């Protein structure tokens, strides 16, 4: 530490270090592995398979859009990642370390461990032990912005208390540090330090969502799961909040999982998009790629719902309704998640796979014809 640092600066520096994620995972290399890895996630509630074998990765600095209609399991996916549920099956890794293990995955682990033990394979036993550790402490580095900006803020707490809560949970008690941090993030989200004394009901919907964002970023998260952060807001305010999130992304190097129910919002904002239908991921690709070659009929139906500022297109635009029983014949062979083009995955069986490859060719031929 420099000699010139005052006692105050030293203290701030120490507390700031407590918040930094690199300290938890010094060996993580964002170039080599994704920041979040969700593998075969299942979240069943009694009769509902809310999330049913969903896998995806998110890389550092990316905006990953998760899209699908109401009830398809988007929020449940987010809540399962941050550990709000005991997940049914699957594995979740953050910065290379396990943060979630499903109940069924644990059962399989126990079986494997018993087998290794019976075989006297101590190396395997050690590997398995390391693999099972769930790094709960890393969870503070993933923050969620909740879908409902009214219900997610405690009405009896001031804005300062709401924002400072996470810092206190992290063991930070220093009043001056907390005050500075709260003022800092309020400014970052376009509010003013004086707002800290007020209560949530004194704010508009857009401002409340800003408070939710401030609460999320005060812990210097690495990954933000934004659950439909703008769908409850007026159209005029929506763009402001999107711009704010874009700025924060650049400024803080954030990675964002952005949940939305239609494609129009995520289109410009996301680098990659995952489309969910009834608990399943049906298509996953880079944004440009998904719009160039939409293949799954559900993705097509979502696309057909987006109006474009092109009168010719609007005249021709027909809403496509997705009816699974009419679109697929899975009587002989069920679907699996297949890579149709590099990094472009679709849930399909072999016959559909062949059909989609032809579709890609046709789409490309059409695009070339238009260019001429």
Ligand X SMILES: Nc1ncnc2c1ncn2[C@@H]1O[C@H](COP(=O)(O)OP(=O)(O)OP(=O)(O)O)[C@@H](O)[C@H]1O
State which of residues 21, 38, 66, 75 lies at the interface with Mg ion (CB under 5 A).
75
Give me the 47-86 binding string for ligand X, x by CB under 6 A, dash otherwise.
-x-x-----------------x-xxxxxxx----------
Give the nearest distance from C-beta 72 to ligand X in angstroms: 4
Helix (H) or strand (E) holding 356: helix 350-371
DSSP string, 95-148: TTEEEEE-HHHHHHHHHHHHHHHHTT-HHHHHHHHHHH---GGGGGGEEEE-S-
C-alpha distances (whole Å) from 311 to each of 262, 263, 316 are: 21, 20, 9
Using CB under 6 A as the binding rule, the residues of this chain from 252 to 291 that contact ligand X are: 261
Those residues whose C-beta lies under 8 Å from the C-beta of residue 87, and which sit 6 or more positions away, are 41, 42, 43, 80, 100, 101, 102, 103
DSSP string, 150-194: TTTS-TTS-HHHHHHHHHHHTT---HHHHHHHHHHHHHHTT--GG
Give the nearest distance from C-beta 298 to Mg ion in angstroms: 17
For ligand X, the closer of residues 183 and 302 by Cβ is 302
Look at residues 205, 76, 67 and name the one whose alpha carbon lies nearest to residue 144.
76
Look at residues 209, 72, 96 and name the one whose alpha carbon lies nearest to residue 151.
209
Stretch that binds Mg ion, among 68-76, 96-104, 149-157, 320-328 (CB under 5 A): 68-76
Residue 287 sits in the site that holds Mg ion (CB under 5 A): no
C-alpha distances (whole Å) from 76 to each of 86, 140, 338 are: 11, 18, 24
Whole-angstrom Cα distance, residue 66 to residue 63?
10
Q: Which residues pair with 347 in a beta bridge?
A: 337
Stretch that binds ligand X, among 45-53, 57-65, 134-142, 312-320 (CB under 6 A): 45-53
Give the nearest distance from C-beta 281 to ligand X in angstroms: 12
State which of residues 45, 268, 313, 330 lies at the interface with ligand X (CB under 6 A).
45
Which pairing describes strands 272-277 and 63-67: parallel, antiparallel, or unpaired?
A: parallel
Give the nearest distance from C-beta 146 to Mg ion in angstroms: 9
For ligand X, the closer of residues 45 and 313 by Cβ is 45
Give the nearest distance from C-beta 74 to ligand X in angstroms: 4
Which sign, positive or negative, has the C-alpha torsion 243, 152, 49, 331?
A: negative
Give me the 143-162 binding string for ligand X, x by CB under 6 A, dash otherwise.
----x---------------
Give me the 118-147 binding string for ligand X, x by CB under 6 A, dash otherwise.
-----------------------------x
Give the nearest distance from C-beta 78 to ligand X in angstroms: 8
Beta-carbon count within 10 A of 304 CB: 15
- Taking CB within 5 to 8 Å according to partner kind, which of Mg ion, ligand X, none is near residue 90? none
For Mg ion, the closer of residues 152 and 220 by Cβ is 152
- Taking CB within 5 to 8 Å according to partner kind, which of ligand X, Mg ion, none is near residue 167? none
Q: In the structure encoding, which two tokens stand for residue 353, read together?
A: 């796979």
Give the nearest distance from C-beta 280 to ligand X in angstroms: 12
- Taking CB within 5 to 8 Å according to partner kind, which of Mg ion, ligand X, none is near residue 42? none
Look at residues 81, 91, 86 and name the one whose alpha carbon lies nearest to residue 131.
91
For Mg ion, the closer of residues 72 and 191 by Cβ is 72
For ligand X, the closer of residues 68 and 212 by Cβ is 68
* DSSP 8-state class, residue 25: -
Binding site for Mg ion (CB under 5 A): 75
Binding site for ligand X (CB under 6 A): 45, 48, 50, 68, 70-76, 147, 261
């Amino acid at each position: 530490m420099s000699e010139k640092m005052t006692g105050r600066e030293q203290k701030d520096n120490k507390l700031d270090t407590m918040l930094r994620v690199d300290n938890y995972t010094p060996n993580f290399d964002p170039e080599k592995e994704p920041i979040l890895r969700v593998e075969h996630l299942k979240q069943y509630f009694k009769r509902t398979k809310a999330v049913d074998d969903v896998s995806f990765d998110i890389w550092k600095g990316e905006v990953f859009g998760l899209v699908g209609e109401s009830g398809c399991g988007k929020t449940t996916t987010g809540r399962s990642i941050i550990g709000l549920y005991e997940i049914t099956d699957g594995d979740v890794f953050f910065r290379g370390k396990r943060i979630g293990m499903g109940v069924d995955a644990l059962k399989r682990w126990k079986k494997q461990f018993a087998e290794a033990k019976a075989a006297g394979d101590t190396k395997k036993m050690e590997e398995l032990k390391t693999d099972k550790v769930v790094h709960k402490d890393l969870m503070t580095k993933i923050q969620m912005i909740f879908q409902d900006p009214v219900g997610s803020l405690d009405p009896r707490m001031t804005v300062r208390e709401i924002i400072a809560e996470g810092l206190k949970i992290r063991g930070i008690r220093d009043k001056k540090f907390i005050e500075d941090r709260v003022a800092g993030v309020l400014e970052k989200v376009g509010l003013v330090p004086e707002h800290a004394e007020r209560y949530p009901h004194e704010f508009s919907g857009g401002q409340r969502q800003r408070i939710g964002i401030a609460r999320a970023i005060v812990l210097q998260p690495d990954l933000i799961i934004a659950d439909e952060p703008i769908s409850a807001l007026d159209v005029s305010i929506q763009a402001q909040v999107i711009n704010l999130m874009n700025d924060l992304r650049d400024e803080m190097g954030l990675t964002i999982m952005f949940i939305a129910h239609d494609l129009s919002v995520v289109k410009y904002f996301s680098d990659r998009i995952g489309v969910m239908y009834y608990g399943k991921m049906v298509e996953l690709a880079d944004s440009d790629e998904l719009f160039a070659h939409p293949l799954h009929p559900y993705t097509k139906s979502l696309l057909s719902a987006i109006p474009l500022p092109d009168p010719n297109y609007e005249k021709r635009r027909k809403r496509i309704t997705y009816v699974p029983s009419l679109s697929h014949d899975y009587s002989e062979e069920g679907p699996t998640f297949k890579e149709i083009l590099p990094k472009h995955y679709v849930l399909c069986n072999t016959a559909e796979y062949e059909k989609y490859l032809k579709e890609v060719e046709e789409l490309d031929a059409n695009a070339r014809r238009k260019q001429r």
